[in-house]
Amino acid sequence: MTLWTLSIVNRVNSLTTTATLGDVILLRNELARQSGIWSFSLATYSRFPAVISRKGPLEPVTFGICRSTGVLCQWLRQLEMIYDEDVSDDLIYTENIGCECTGSCSDAFYCRCLQLSQERNYDPGSTKLRQLLRPINTCQWPVFECHGGCRCSQSRCTNRVVFNRKHDTSALSVCLAGDKGLGVLAARDLFQGEFVSVFTGNYLLPRNAHIVVNMQQMFMGHDFAMVVREFCGPDRHIVFETVVDGCGDATVSNTGDAPLLIMPSFCFINHSCHPNLTVIPVRHESVYPTLALFALRNIRADTELTYDYGEKANSPGGLFLRRCLCRSWNCRGFLPNRL
């Protein structure tokens, strides 16, 4: 009989326990305004365990399930932020209440969202991020887009590229990528600075991300989490850390002999030390970002799409040590440690 280890966390405390299939785990929600106890039963989910909640009237929103590993972790509707003491509370906690524009939201003098971005993000009629069109195509300023709380017209506004297309994966085509396994090709020609796709899923607490990543590596041989750290100042202080588990957007197919976990196409975008995509945090209602993929240069259709998984390769003997197969001229030799 298989004995599973479950890591259960909330904002108040955490515990690790073991269980077998069919066991029921009782959890007291110490965060609810009223005291309550909820039970979680261990069942099979594909070839991985899963914890199925028996919903109560006050089920805590701080608990969730990793579909790929069955680890009961704390997902966040709002991300926990890591910020330096030099960053003001106003920047961190103030939400973007939206603009009151009546035009196309192309002038940072009038548009409140563009004022947060410090400049216009896109040219009218374009889906290209202006910051990536410069000779040094890096994102130096935050990107705030208009959203549902703005008074501007959704059809006329030029500052809603990611907001309007956050579910659009038409530019992605999953393919076989040789010894790398699966990969993703450009389904059409893409241009420098163009929005390509959003990396969606479950937002994780940064301190709990290693639990999910380790389990995915153990059972799948690969992890599907994206970690983005944002820095500010000459000393590059970490301002925000965002962790998204792409398995959160997976679906289950029961058409075969056994349930099959179907991953979204963006999960199969491979790493390259010389990538053609970059990840840009794009904000809407609040400072909590959507992770969007943009093209770093012109990309012909049927070219493999890649982004850099991290800035630093693992040291020898590291848990995720794996040789990099990107074959770029500047290949670092090993895949970066995302965490």
Q: Which residue has the tokens 């069109």?
A: 133
256 DSSP 8-state letter: S
SS3 label, residue 279: strand
- Boundaries of every domain in the chain: 4-73, 112-307
Q: What is the spatial distance between Cα 131 and Cα 146, in angstroms, rounded to a whole number?
A: 17
Q: The tokens of 243 are what?
A: 């962790």
3-state secondary structure of 179: helix
CB atoms under 10 Å from CB of 67, counted, come to 21
Q: Domain 112-307 belongs to what topology? A: Beta-clip-like (2.170.270)
Distance (Å, rounded) from C-alpha 205 to C-alpha 105?
A: 34
The number of CA neighbours under 13 Å toward the Cβ of 194 is: 14
Tell me how crowded residue 15 is: count the other CB atoms within 10 A of its CB: 11
The structure tokens listed for 136 are 């040094």
How deeply is 327 buried, as exposed, middle or buried, from its count of CB atoms within 10 A (0-12, 13-18, 19+)?
Answer: exposed
Q: Would you say 116 and 124 are in contact if contact means Cβ atoms under 8 Å apart?
A: no
**Residue count of the chain:** 339
Q: Render each residue's pLDDT in the chain as its tens digit; 339 residues.
A: 455 555 444 434 444 555 554 444 444 433 333 334 444 444 333 333 333 333 333 233 233 444 444 444 433 333 333 344 444 555 545 567 889 998 899 888 899 999 988 889 998 889 999 999 987 766 778 899 999 889 999 889 999 999 999 889 999 998 888 888 889 999 999 999 999 999 887 777 777 777 777 777 777 777 778 888 887 767 777 778 888 887 766 555 555 554 455 677 888 899 999 999 999 999 988 777 899 999 999 999 999 999 998 754 443 333 356 788 999 999 988 887 766
Q: In what order do the strands lie in the sheet with 48-53?
A: 24-28, 37-45, 48-53
DSSP letters for 161-184: HHHHTTT--TTEEEEE-GGG-EEE
What single-letter amino acid sits at 135? P
Torsion of CA 62, 68, 71, 77, to 10 degrees: -10
User: Would you say 183 and 176 are in contact if contact means Cβ atoms under 8 Å apart?
Assistant: yes
Nearby residues of 150 by Cβ (< 8 Å), 6 or more positions away: 98, 99, 100, 101, 105, 113, 157
What pLDDT does residue 59 have?
Answer: 31
- The phi and psi torsions of 206 (rounded to 5 degrees) equal -55, -35
| pTM of the complete model | 0.70
Name the pairing type of β-strands 270-271 and 306-307: parallel
Residue owning tokens 């259709």: 301
In this prediction, residue 240 carries a pLDDT of 80
Show Cβ contacts of residue 331 under 8 Å, excluding neighbours closer than 6 positions. Answer: 273, 274, 324
Provide CB contacts within 8 A for 194, sequence distance 6+: 127, 128, 294, 295
Nearest CA to 42 out of 51, 33, 34 is that of 51
Cα separation of 112 and 204, whole Å? 29
Whether 284 and 160 have beta carbons less than 8 Å apart is answered as: no
Note whether 234 and 84 are within 8 A (CB): no
